[in-house]
Every structure is written in C-alpha cells, then in structure tokens.
Amino acid sequence: MKVLVIYQSKYGSTKQYAEWIQKRFQADLIDLNQNTPDYNDYSIIIFGGYLYAGSIKIAKHLIKNWEKIREKEVILFTTGAMPIDHPLVKDAYEKNLPQEIREKIKYFPLSGRIIHDKLSPIDKILMFVGAILEKDPEMKKGMKTDYDGVKQENLAPLYEYIEGINL
C-alpha cells in the first residue's frame, strides 16, 4: 500500500497535518505549490487543502486530475478556522467538488488555526469585516481571537479509515 499526501497550505495548518500523516504511513509528501505529483505508483492518494472564503484551495487540482486517480483510494482533508460541523464547511465541500467525486472519496474536515499577527493584511481585513457581518455571537467572537485547533488527535478518524482499507 503506497501512500501519497499532496497538500496546499497558507498558514501551516494543512502542512502540519500532512506531515503527521506522512510520518504515520511512511507516505511520499508533495507541496502542490512547489511540485507536480505523479500518481502512477500510489494506491492511496490523500489531498489536503485549506478552506478560504468558501473555497477548498486544492479542489481544482483534484478535479483536473480525477480521470488519473478515480480508480485509486482518494481521501480529502481540509483545514479551517470554522468549527468542523459548521454548515458552511459542508457547503464548501459540496460546492467545490462535483457529486460524482464526492461519492467516491472520503472527506475529513479538520480544525485549523487563526493567529491574527500572522495573517496577511488582506486576511486581517476580511476577518474584521467578517466579524462585523457575522450574526452568530460565538462565530463573531471566534473571528476576533486567536485559535489553534491543530492537534494530532484530530487525525484519529482519518488514520482509522486508512488502516481499514483493504487493497
């Protein structure tokens, strides 16, 4: 069982999860911003992408390469600052990937982080405006404070799923 982990990370959450997965399964690791993967030798392909303004940043790459990987075991994990059970996380997943792909892959939303001092100026503005427009008091509070939900134990369901794969 040869595993490939491909990721795109903006502030490091997705990269951290990808590295943990790589170590657990002795997988090959590719930062999509630096390299283009070759899928031929892999039976399991794990995509890691971050949620940003309703978009899964690695989704376009997954869709573009779907014909090459459709017969393989494909897993997607995403990171974001929103609670993983928030309806917008599910909406992003459904809007960014066609149903045909969603029916054949396994999806794991994971907690990310927000460290305001590390945000780009545009992201700081987006968070500020988002907090003003947000009606949910808990979400509003979360947009104004630092948060780090990146924990290795968040990967337990993904690990369990991979370990249960019979190829």
Q: What are the boundaries of each domain within the chain?
A: 3-112+149-163, 114-148
Q: What is the mean pLDDT of residues 66-76?
A: 96
pLDDT of residue 1: 79
pLDDT bin (cut points 50, 70, 90) of residue 167 is low
Instruction: Indicate the Cα dihedral angle 62, 108, 78, 41, nearest 10°.
Output: -40
Instruction: Give me the architecture of the 3-112+149-163 domain, per CATH.
Output: 3-Layer(aba) Sandwich (3.40)
Neighbours of 115 (CB within 10 A): 11
Per cent of the chain over pLDDT 90 is 78
| Helix (H) or strand (E) run with residue 107 in it | strand 106-111
In tens, the pLDDT along 83-142 reads 899 898 999 999 999 999 999 999 999 999 999 999 999 999 988 888 888 888 888 888
Neighbours of 42 (CB within 10 A): 20
Measure CA 51 to chain center.
7
Highest mean pLDDT (candidates 49-53, 75-79, 134-138): 75-79
Residues 164, 103: Cα–Cα separation, whole Å: 18
Structure pTM?
0.92
| Helix (H) or strand (E) run with residue 106 in it | strand 106-111
Q: Do residues 54 and 95 make contact, with C-beta atoms less than 8 angstroms apart?
A: yes
Number of H helices, E strands in the chain: 8, 8
